Chain A
Amino acid sequence: MSEDKILDNVITTRMDKFIGWARSYSLWQYVFGTACCAMEFMSVSSSHYDTDRFGAAMPRYSPRQSDMLMIVGTITHKQAPVLRRVWEQMAEPKYVVAVGACAVSGGFYRNYAVVQGADRVIPVDVYVPGCPPRPEMILDGIMALQEKIRNSKQYL
């Protein structure tokens, strides 16, 4: 085979880049929906906003089968151990998106019952602010996560 033919049929790339590309388009999500934002998330997951474009349309209701944990809503102190347990059950590589002001920072619920941000319980990769965020913002959050996955070192 001549060299031209090989260059036409073979793509050379780095391992990290290739795996990152694959992983960024197969985000199976676990929706940890608790509050107001979950209602907005119903809109996101229906046909109008179509998360399938990002390879993130497949909600798995088992943490063991999912790659992306979406914290959609307020995390209270009562809920915190549950969230922790769900996150621990997920297999690596796992990514966490905190959707909404409450999940990001506790929002305006600064009181005895609410954890001041989901990142005080588990590490968070992408923060989507808003109370609740518009569907476009959640899509933007998913795209930001894809970007992050593509540019990070991939462990096998």
Chain B
Amino acid sequence: MEKYWLLKDDIPDFFEKFPHAGYTEQFGQPNVRIPKEDLAELFDFWKNHSKYPMDMLLDITAVDYLSSDFAEKPNLTGREEDLYSETRFDVVYHFYSVSTNRRIRVITSCGGEHPEVLSSYAWWKAAYYIEREVWDMFGIKFTNHPELRRVLMYEEFEGHPLRKDYPLMGEQPRVKLRNPEQEND
């Protein structure tokens, strides 16, 4: 069977360089977990990797693990103090190497009152919009991003809709809404 994902055996040099990196494998796909302090080094490493240069940043997204008790995450149960847990959010990067047709997924955690991680815009221009989207949806700040503002929601919007503590029906209308059954104009 063809291989499309970089598994542990393919990248011994990565684990030499990042001995603290966690690694799990699910459904034939790797989950490489590193602390967020190592991100700059990691971006350098993958962008200029000799064998599998990751020239395309496919996607960045985040997962809010508030009120969850699975995966490798600590038990966050939605209590008040969990709102500012240091490991509340996972930021998930998908990289793709066009020349060698290999992919890898890297995960890092952040949290606290003002979660922030390093922006990858200096390495990949693709980060421009997707990091803005993650900021918009999760409120995770990307340091060194040139223009971190909302992209999908509007500027007046308060809160970050994809966080688990944001209600599904938390509408914030920009115009005064009519009541179609009463008003007649």
Q: How large is the interface on A (under 10, 10 to 19, 20 to 34, 35 or more residues)?
A: 10 to 19
- In the assembled complex, the Cα of A124 lies from the Cα of B185 at a distance in Å of 10
Residues in chain B within 8 A of chain A (CB atoms) = 153-154, 161, 166-175, 177-180, 183-185
* CB-based closest 9 A-B pairs: A119-B180, A120-B177, A112-B170, A78-B154, A80-B175, A81-B174, A81-B175, A84-B175, A111-B168
Residue of B nearest to A124 (CB): B180
B173 to A77, Cβ gap below 8 A? yes
Residue of B nearest to A79 (CB): B174
- In the assembled complex, the Cα of A124 lies from the Cα of B183 at a distance in Å of 12
Residues in chain A within 8 A of chain B (CB atoms) = 77-78, 80-81, 84, 110-113, 115, 117, 119-124
Known: A112-B161, A117-B180, A121-B178. A80 touches B166 (CB 8 A): no
Besides A111-B169, A112-B168, A112-B170, 19 more A-B contacts (Cβ < 8 Å) are A77-B154, A77-B171, A77-B173, A78-B153, A78-B174, A80-B174, A110-B169, A111-B168, A112-B161, A112-B166, A112-B167, A112-B169, A113-B153, A115-B173, A119-B180, A120-B177, A120-B180, A121-B175, A123-B184
Tell me the smallest distance from the CB of A75 to a CB of chain B, in Å: 11
Residues in chain B near residue A124, CB distance under 8 A: 180
B178 to A123, Cβ gap below 8 A? yes
- In the assembled complex, the Cα of A123 lies from the Cα of B180 at a distance in Å of 7
A115 to B177, Cβ gap below 8 A? yes
Tell me the smallest distance from the CB of B156 to a CB of chain A, in Å: 10
Overall SS of chain B's interface: loop
Tell me the smallest distance from the CB of A95 to a CB of chain B, in Å: 14
Residues in chain A near residue B153, CB distance under 8 A: 78, 113
B177 to A121, Cβ gap below 8 A? yes
- In the assembled complex, the Cα of A123 lies from the Cα of B181 at a distance in Å of 10
Tell me the smallest distance from the CB of B96 to a CB of chain A, in Å: 30
Residues in chain B near residue A81, CB distance under 8 A: 174-175
Interface centre among A81, A120, A122, A123 (most CB of B within 10 A): A120
Residues in chain B near residue A84, CB distance under 8 A: 175
Tell me the smallest distance from the CB of A35 to a CB of chain B, in Å: 15
Residue of A nearest to B180 (CB): A119
- In the assembled complex, the Cα of A111 lies from the Cα of B170 at a distance in Å of 7
B174 to A120, Cβ gap below 8 A? no
Tell me the smallest distance from the CB of B50 to a CB of chain A, in Å: 45
Residues in chain B near residue A80, CB distance under 8 A: 173-175
